[in-house]
Copies of this chain bind each other. A is one copy, B any other.
Amino acid sequence: MSKPKNNAEKVATAKRDSLMELLKMEGSKIYNDLEKGQFPQFYVPSRSVSNIVYDKKLRQYILGKSAGLRSSRNMAQLRSFTQLIWLAFFANRLIQEKKSSTLRDIYYSSQAFAIDFEDQPESDNIIVDLEAVLARPREDLHIFPEERSSVFGDLTIEYTVPGYEGRRTNLSDHPDGYLIGPSLSTAELVDTSAELVIAIEKGGLFTRFVEEKVDKKFKAIIIDTAGQAPRSTRNLLKRLNTQMKLPVVILTDGDVYGEHIAMVIKSGSANAAHLRELTVPDAKWVGVWASDIEKYKLPTIPMTESDIKRIYDLQKDPRYQEGIWKKELEIFLKIKRKAELEAFSKYGLTNITDKYLPEKLELAKSM
C-alpha cells in the first residue's frame, strides 16, 4: 500500500483499515472454532419486528438485544452461514481491490463461486445480515445503491477513489448538479462557505433553486433527494450536518409521502435500525405542510384511497405522536387534499424562492 499523501487519503485509509480489521476479527473467530475442533458459528443481531424499538434518545429505530445463532453444525443454518461467510470474503476483496459494486452485482458474482442464492432478494437479505454483524453500512463494503440523487453548492470535496486521489472539485462548478455516486460518497468534505443545507424532493425544483441562486442568496448547499432519498444521499446529509456543522432543512411535496420522506431523512427507517450513519435527527421539515395548503391557497389534488390508508398507518408510528408530525397528518386527513411543490408556480415561477422559502427559513430558526 502506498504511503498516504494527504488528509483525505489518511482518513480513507484509516476507515478502510478499521473495517478490514473488523472483518479479520470475525474471520479469526471461525478459524479459532475450527482449530478447537468446534463447528464454527456466529451471532447475527435479530432484525425481526419484535427486536426493533424506537430509541427516544438517539431519535431513531434501533435493534434490541436479541440475536440469532448461525451455526455450521445446524443443517438448517448451514446455507445462510456459508452465504454470509462468502459475502464477507467477497467484500474483503472489493475493499482491497477498491472496486465498487451493487446489490445486483453481488447476486450474480456469487454464481462464479457456486454460492447458491435462490434469487436476488435472498442475497440482498444476507448483505443486510452482514451489515448488522459488522454494524457498518454496505457502502463501506463498496456495495453502492443504483439510485443517484444530486447536490449543488459551494462545497469543496477531495476524492479518494483510484485515479483521483488528492484531486478536488467544487460542487458549484456544474449548474445541473453533481451525482452522489461512489466517488462523492467516499470523498472527504474539505471546505464550504455554506451555512445551511436545503434538501428538496424534486429535480425540477432543484434546477429552479440553482437558477435562482438559492445557494448564494441563502448560503446553502442544495440537495435533490429525487423522491425518497437514497442511502448515499442520507449519508451525505448526515456528514454535512455532523462534520461541517450545517443545519439541514427539508422541502417536500405537500402530501403524506412527502412528510415521510422528511421523516426518513431525520430518523431513518426500521429497515436500517442496525445502522447509525443514515439519520439526521436535527433535520427540520419546513414544508409543504398540510397547513400551508390553505395558508398559501395552493392548487390541490384530491387524495387517493392509498394516501389516506398511508396516513392511518403512519399515525401508529411512534415518531408521529407529537409536534408538527402529528398535527400535519391530522390536517391532511381532514382536508383530504394534497399539493405539489410546483403548485407555487401559480404565483409565478420564482414565487417559491422569492417568498415561500425565505418565510420558511425564518420560521425554521425558531423550530
Q: List residues of chain A with CB under 8 Å of any chain B CB.
A: 99-102, 104-105, 107-109, 111-112, 144, 146-148, 150, 159, 161-164, 167, 169, 173-184, 202-204, 207-208, 211, 213, 299, 340, 342-350
Q: Is the CB of B208 within 8 A of A100?
A: yes
Contact check: which of B105, B147, B184 meets A345 at CB < 8 Å? Answer: B105
| Alpha-carbon distance between A342 and B109 when the two chains are bound, in angstroms | 9
Distance in angstroms between the alpha carbons of A146 and B177 in the assembled complex: 13
The 8 Å CB contact of A176, one of B146, B167, B179, is: B179
Q: Which residues in B have their C-beta under 8 angstroms from that of A204?
A: 101-102, 104-105, 144, 146
**Minimum Cβ distance to chain B for residue A143 (Å):** 10
Q: Which residues of B contact A159 (CB under 8 A)?
A: 175
28 interchain pairs, CB-CB under 8 A: A99-B349, A100-B207, A105-B342, A105-B349, A108-B343, A108-B345, A109-B348, A111-B346, A112-B345, A112-B347, A112-B348, A144-B207, A146-B203, A146-B204, A159-B175, A163-B213, A164-B175, A169-B174, A173-B173, A174-B174, A174-B179, A174-B184, A176-B179, A176-B182, A177-B179, A178-B179, A181-B203, A181-B207
The interface residues of chain B lying within 8 Å CB-to-CB of A211 are: 99-100, 161-162
In the bound complex, residues from chain B placing their C-beta under 8 Å from that of A147 are: 203
Which residues of the other chain, B, contact A175 by a CB distance below 8 angstroms? 159, 161, 163-164, 181, 183
